[in-house]
Copies of this chain bind each other. A is one copy, B any other.
Amino acid sequence: MRDFSKSCEWLSINTATVKKQWSLDKIIDECAKRNIRSISPWRDQVSVVGIERIAKQLKSHSMTLSGYCRGGFFTAVDAKGLQEARDDNRRAIDEAKKLEAPCLVLVVGSLPGALAGAASYKEIGLAREQVFDGVAQALEYAKEVGMPLAIEPLHPMQAAERACINTLEQALDMCDALDPSKGGSLGVALDVYHTWWDPKLKEQIERAGRNRLLAYHVCDWLTPTKDLLNDRGMMGDGVIELKKIRGWVEDNGFAGFCEVEIFSELDWWKRPGEDVLDTCITRHKTHT
C-alpha cells in the first residue's frame, strides 16, 4: 500500500468540495498553490468559466484530472428525452476529451422526475434497462474518441432520484455485459461513501481488478447523517475504514489518485475554502 503520510502526490480534489466558496479557476489556483496536482471538475463549474480557459489553466499548472463529472442521467419518459440524454452524454464525452480526463464519471440516473419530487414512472427495472441502453450507446462514441467511462454505483438511498445502479456488483455486471474484453473503455468509479456498507465490497473489488477500477473517491460517513445528499464527512470524522478499503483497491492494482469528494451543506461548504483544502491535505496524509 502506498505511503501517503509525507506528500499529497496522490491527492485529487473533486471540485464540488469547495464549490460554494470558489469558482473553478480560483479552485485550480488554490490547489496549485498547495501542490495538489489533480482535480476532478464538474461540468457546470467548467461551463461558468469556459472550457478553453480551464484547459489552458490546467496546462499552465501541469495539473491533471482524476476524472470528469459527470455523464449519465440516461432515463426518460419518452424517446425525445432519451435522445436528449444521449446527446448530452456525447457532449460530456467531448468535454472530458478536451480536458484530457482519464475517464468520464457516470451517475446513471433513475426514475425520471423523481429528483424534482414526482416520478413519471416507478418501474426501477425499466430505469435499469434504459440505463443499460444509454451506457451502451455512450460507450460506442466513447470508444471512438478514446474516453473511458466510469460507472459510479450510488448509495441505495439515492436509488429513486440519482442512480439505479447501487452496488459495485451491479455496476460490474453491466461492465461485463457491455465490455467483456475488459479493454479499459468501461469500468467503475468507486466511492467509499456509496459502498462502504456493502458486505460484498472486498469480493467485488477483487472481481473489478485493475482494468475496471478507473477512479477512487473518498470522504466519510457521519453518525448521525442528517441529509441524504449533502452531509458527507471529512476523512477521519466518520466510520468508514478508509485505509482498509484503499488497501483492497491497491491490492487489486489501483495506483491512481484518491479523490476527495465532500458535499457538506452543514459544515465544509460553510468554512473558508483555504481551510477545507488544508484539511483535505492533512487528512489525506493521516486518514486516507
Q: Which A residues contact B (CB, under 8 angstroms)?
A: 111, 114-115, 117-119, 122-124, 128, 155-157, 159-161, 164-167, 170, 196-199, 221, 223-226, 228, 238-241
- A161: min CB distance to chain B, Å: 6
A-B contact pairs, 18 of them (CB 8 A): A115-B223, A117-B223, A119-B223, A123-B241, A128-B199, A155-B157, A156-B198, A157-B225, A157-B228, A159-B196, A160-B221, A160-B223, A161-B223, A165-B199, A166-B198, A167-B199, A225-B228, A226-B228
- A4: min CB distance to chain B, Å: 18
How many Å lie between the Cα of A119 and that of B220 in the bound state?
Answer: 13
How many Å lie between the Cα of A45 and that of B109 in the bound state?
Answer: 41
With a cutoff of 8 Å between Cβ atoms, the chain B residues found around residue A164 in the complex are 197
Chain A interface main SS type: loop
Partner of A197, one of B115, B122, B124, B238: B124
A159 adjacent to B197 (CB under 8 Å): yes
- A264: min CB distance to chain B, Å: 16
With a cutoff of 8 Å between Cβ atoms, the chain B residues found around residue A167 in the complex are 199
B241 adjacent to A122 (CB under 8 Å): yes
A166 adjacent to B199 (CB under 8 Å): yes
How many Å lie between the Cα of A196 and that of B114 in the bound state?
Answer: 15
**CB nearest to A117 among chain B residues:** B223
Q: Which of A114, A119, A199, A226 has the most B CB atoms < 10 Å from its CB?
A: A199
B170 adjacent to A224 (CB under 8 Å): no
Task: Give 6 new A-B contacts, CB below 8 A, not counting A115-B223, A161-B223, A166-B197.
Answer: A117-B224, A156-B157, A156-B198, A160-B239, A165-B199, A166-B199
Contacts A156-B198, A157-B155, A224-B228 hold; do A239 and B114 have CB atoms under 8 A apart? yes
With a cutoff of 8 Å between Cβ atoms, the chain B residues found around residue A224 in the complex are 117, 161, 228
How many Å lie between the Cα of A156 and that of B193 in the bound state?
Answer: 11
How many Å lie between the Cα of A225 and that of B156 in the bound state?
Answer: 12
